[in-house]
Amino acid sequence: MKVVCIGGGVIGLLSALQLARVGIQVTVLDSSALGRESSWAGGGIVSPLYPWRYSAAITALAHWSQSFYPDLGRQLLASTGIDPEVHATGLYWLDLQDEADALAWAQRQKAGLSRVDMAQVHDAVPALGAGFTSAIHWPGLANVRNPRLVQALQAELQAMPNVQLHEHVRVNGFLRRGQQVVGLLTTNGELPADRVVLSAGAWSGELLAGLGLSLPVEPVKGQMILYKCAEDFLPAMVLAHGRYAIPRRDGHVLVGSTLEHVGFDKTPTAEALASLQASAQQLLPALAEAEVVGHWAGLRPGSPEGIPFIGEVPEFPGLWLNCGHYRNGLVLAPASCRLLADLMLGREPIVDPAPYSPVGRLG
């Protein structure tokens, strides 16, 4: 079987890896550089920001992925020498309006969230600002350093003889035999395939429109800033009023993010920078004296309720979707890509595939 994945972000790369490991010939195409869109831009928390606000469909994929990430990180480091830095710091949510819902969800899911005293939080995170009145904590919750995850996945795939990676190749349309999708029309010419996987993030809807299908996935801009601090400055992730701070092992601290519906505009703005800095300094006042070493924007693939589309498109056999993960692409990627491979290969699926099926969800 020959499979082509459109889109070389974490979803496309992990889809390719799942399929290539069972001997399938896989080609990954990206219209720019691999993994440089949403996968590169995000924060990498291995959980939805507010997991209790999501449906059971999101929870199922997130739970599977959280268990999978530590082994994935170790395996990629061992085989490529690149460490994705799956960093188990834990996360404190501060001043939640729906704290009771969060704790009730945690009890149902047997998740490790619990209410903690603010004095305990300040002891654990000395840099935290004053004025917060309540907190819940999930110890051991991890973040992954997403640019390094992309680099490790790329290196792993490049070493496999049955994988081809092509950057700066644009897809212009689908090759068809009747309704059957049998390949792609690209800027490098025709590319035959037995299966095509659409994993192009925010751009997935534009590609499906060429088949007369309406995929409810739209770009949602997010801006973030990066500080460089001492390695022990922030020992845990903190989140308040929709903004979060994420520590990396080398002292970098990510603060994000905005939610903007501005089409495909990825331009960082002064207004967002000021807003993010204000949030950063409310969370961690010492950041007022720290240098902003990065400020960027990415485009998330927004979708209804954030539930991704995973499975074959019934109107066009041979065309498979793995897209529409909205704010949780890095969180859900391992489970989403395993589920895609299970369905394509006829294996027992890791979770019930029905909530993610494209059937009845496309216009």
Own/partner pairs, 240-246, CB within 8 angstroms, 24+ separation: 240/93, 240/94, 240/95, 240/132, 240/282, 240/283, 241/95, 241/279, 241/282, 242/49, 243/276, 243/279, 243/280, 243/283, 244/43, 244/45, 244/49, 245/280, 245/283, 245/284, 246/43, 246/44, 246/45, 246/143
Report phi then psi at 196, rounded to 5. -120, 130
User: Residue written as tokens 């037995």?
Assistant: 194
Return mean pLDDT, the chain: 97
| pLDDT tens sequence across 184-199 | 999 999 999 999 999 9
| pLDDT tens sequence across 93-134 | 999 999 999 999 999 999 999 999 999 999 999 999 999 999
Domains, the chain: 2-55+147-215+304-356 (3.50.50.60), 91-139+218-302 (3.30.9.10)
| pLDDT tens sequence across 21-73 | 999 999 999 999 999 999 999 999 999 999 999 999 999 999 999 999 999 99
> What pTM did the predictor assign?
0.97
Return the pLDDT at 7. 98
Return the pLDDT at 6. 98
Return the pLDDT at 36. 96
pLDDT for residue 363 is more than 90: no
Return the pLDDT at 20. 98
| pLDDT tens sequence across 268-310 | 999 999 999 999 999 999 999 999 999 999 999 999 999 999 9
pLDDT for residue 238 is more than 90: yes
